[in-house]
Amino acid sequence: MRRGSKRKLLLLVSLALSLLWAGRHLRNRGAELRLSDWFDPRKRPDVVTTTDWLAPVIWEGTFDRQVLGRHYQRQNLTVGLVVFAAGRAADQYLEPFLQSANKHFMPGFRVVTYVLVEDWYQLPALPPEPLRTVRALAIRPDSWWPDPSLSRMKNLGEYILSHIRGEVDFLFSMSVDRVFQGDMGAEALGAAVAQLHAWWYFRDRRHLPYERRPRSAACIPFGQGDFFYDGAVVGGTPARVLDLVRAYLGGVLQDARQGLNSTYESHLNKYFFLHKPTRLLSPEYNWDADLHPPLQVQLVKVLQLAKRDL
């Protein structure tokens, strides 16, 4: 192994171990309601509303946001939202993302939005909003590894440790090329939140694009797997998000030793295959503008911008 490659692996090992240690010392401050108090799967018989492990799948019409709001407001929660805006993406997408998030992301709750940018001037000027704080965080250079997903997750893990873990009760990480079109509220809060993929949700499970190479840390064997999750949106308590980051970095490290390079979403899906999410967001929370929504998608809350909008 060349000296430069060895150094990369050692850096990944060091970060993964520090995240593992720190994850054991994070508090989980969000208590849960009984599912039946706010969730009624019978209202949407046209879709899957409950997983085999009894986690709710959040579709429009299945939840009572008022009950959830009263419960979580009593806890005086703060919700964090991390958005990674590198390069041209900051100029093209960041302002509409932040404007729409201020209106629709966790309305009525105290929200801290952490914007990871390369240069401070890329943060647009936004009018102050009640209960809303926007903080710019510098993307730490990772020129030694060109994978943007790796850079995003390394930065996310490091900032959870240095800033975020003591400031928020729940945390979401989202891709910047989205706009909120409807409210994403307390129904999305949970210990471990996964986003169902808009395209693959409606496809035959036998054809889901899992990593199948047995030597890969991301491998899900043929005949196994639950859903295909979209890496553009993840959430949960800071401890659980940190655990996801740790597992991803560890998987990348293991694959690198084998001469493999699996995708971020492959590692994400392996993580949620082993560690089942406690709440699943339907494709309504991350719909692709290139796709015509089927009848099951009654209300698009978050829209992934079409390639023609670049």
pLDDT of residue 25: 44
For the chain, how are helix, strand and coil distributed in percent, rounded to 5? 40, 20, 40
CA atoms within 13 A on the CB side of 80: 27
Evaluated on CA atoms 84, 96, 181, 307, the torsion sign reads negative
| Region class of 259: left (phi > 0), else alpha (psi between -120 and 50), else beta | left
Q: CA-CA distance, 181 to 104, in Å (whole number)?
A: 7
Nearest to 229 by CA among 254, 204, 180, 266: 266
| Each residue's pLDDT expressed in tens, for the chain with a length of 310 residues | 555 555 555 555 565 555 555 544 444 444 568 999 999 999 999 999 999 999 999 999 999 999 999 999 999 999 999 999 988 888 899 999 999 999 999 999 999 999 999 888 788 888 888 999 999 999 987 644 568 899 999 999 999 999 899 999 999 999 999 999 999 999 999 999 999 999 999 998 889 999 999 999 999 999 999 999 999 999 999 999 999 999 999 999 999 999 999 999 999 999 999 999 999 999 999 999 999 999 999 999 999 996 544 4
Nearest to 91 by CA among 124, 113, 115: 124
Nearest to 116 by CA among 96, 131, 98, 143: 98
Residue written as token pair 């093209």: 92
pLDDT of residue 120: 80
DSSP for 27-49? --------HHHHB-GGG-TTS--
CA end-to-end span of the chain? 40
Q: CA-CA distance, 150 to 158, in Å (whole number)?
A: 12
Q: CA-CA distance, 22 to 238, in Å (whole number)?
A: 11
Prediction pTM value? 0.88
Number of Cβ within a 10 Å radius of residue 70: 13
Nearest to 231 by CA among 190, 253, 200: 200
Containing 138, the helix (H) or strand (E) segment is strand 132-138
Annotated binding-site residues for Mn(2+) read: 177
CA distances from 221 to 209, 211, 304 (A): 11, 8, 30
- Which CATH superfamily hosts domain 37-304? Spore Coat Polysaccharide Biosynthesis Protein SpsA; Chain A (3.90.550.10)
Annotated binding-site residues read: 177, 197, 265, 288
pLDDT of residue 307: 58
pLDDT of residue 205: 86
The residues annotated with a catalytic role in the active site are 265
